Amino acid sequence: MEYPNLLPRFLKYVKVNTRSDEYSDRFPSTKRQDDFQKQVIMKDLEELGLSDIHYNKKSGCVIAEIPATVDYDVPVMGYLAHVDTADFNAENVKPIVHENYDGKSKIQLGDSDFYLDPEVFPNLRNYKGKTLITTSGDTLLGGDDKCGVAEVVTLAEYLLAHPEIKHGKIRIGFTPDEEIGTGAPRFDVEDFGAEFAFTLDGAAPGKLDWGTFSAATFALDIQGVNVHPSVAKDQMINAIQIGIDFQNQLPSAEVPEKTAGREGFFHLTHFEGTVDNARLEYIIRDFERDGLENRKNLVKEIVAKMNKEFGTERIKLTMRDQYYNMADELAKHMDIVNLAREAYHQEGLNEINEEPIRGGTDGGQLTYRGLPCPNLFSGQENMHGRYEYTVLESMYKAVDVLVRIAELNAEKNK
């Protein structure tokens, strides 16, 4: 069904810069996330009349409750969406609404020289007659995850306006710093108070994520020796070249641009330096825990070998795990996945895409922290850049699914 306030709510949210910052030393990583939570989200929830609205300082989250409309015990469920956006220009976002898209034409992004082209982005062909919301070509849109944020707030609005819909207590939460992986470790599971939850941070309708990559990150800090090139022989040690030599020892085909499906990778995300010093930053992804450990061990072996050849620790390695494949843990809670599957089917989504996501969500970490948390679609497309767009009808369908899951949770526990 249509939800008249969903589009204006989404447009309002995406215009607010809530980009996170992985180099920040504060939590949440940017004050603008705090401001959005306290000045926009909390205000909207208060105007709707939700219960127990509060800002949890420990987790940087706004949490609220949709009261039950049944008089019997139902497992408390939750819905979560993250407020931060990715590492791309998020200042002065100007969303553009394109009604009744013909499913075949290029869409110019504002006055820029950039276009959404179905030849490049074939998913566009699925949306003939639909309403698309795009960027203006110089920023991201922020549908990841303002789609989810707007949908959860819209769900709350709809259920409060329709007390005849039978459901148990529903907790909703809005998390910071998902894009940099530092929000979920601080999430206050006890305060949230749900037995299970769903994140809304997925792509097109029908996508259901209960498997993810396992993930780690590492950085190399390299100390070189800089002398004048005229006397460099047997004295200069070029830190940039050391970084290149390290990179060339990783499997050249195991990078994001050459892998798909269940294939893991090493991804160099940042490289800066001079002859004197350099820094390389990487992420590692693999669907299997053993595969992740093997990749981490390869990195350690290469660093150890190179340092041994130098006779000193020229390369300093720092490494940490980020999250693990939530399928390993959700296998113990398939009733929750089945709840989503049934809701999808009842809402006409008979082709469910359960391919493991080549990424991660807050739900991956929360599942291992005792809050089983599969990920639902929210209608995001082409996330994290100027080509990002969403489809209004996909967002409507996401809210339909949220309502249906809540109803089913009450029906099955009557």
Active site residue ranges: 84, 178
Structure tokens at 274: 């001079």
Residue 75 one-letter amino acid: P
| 329: Cβ contacts below 8 Å, ≥ 6 apart | 367, 368, 372
What angle in degrees, to the nearest 10, is found between the helix axes of 6-14 and 143-161?
140
* Cα-based angle 169, 408, 213 (whole degrees, multiple of 5): 90
Could you please report the per-residue DSSP string of 200-268? EEE-STTBEE--B-EEEEEEEEEE-B---GGG-TTT-B-HHHHHHHHHTTS-TT-SGGG--TT--EEEE
Sequence-distant (≥ 6) Cβ neighbours of residue 232 within 8 angstroms: none
Question: Who's near 250: CB < 8 A, 6+ residues apart?
Answer: 266, 298, 299, 302
Give CA–CA dist 119/130, Å, rounded. Answer: 18
- Quote the CA–CA distance of 292 and 284 in Å, as a whole number: 7
Please tell me the distance from the alpha carbon of residue 68 to that of residue 159, in angstroms, as a whole number: 10
Question: ∠ at Cα 259 (216, 373), nearest 5°?
Answer: 50
To 5 degrees, how large is the angle CA 265–CA 269–CA 275?
120
Cβ proximity of 151 and 378 under 8 Å = yes
CA distances (Å), origin 186, targets 31, 59, 146, 174: 17, 5, 21, 13
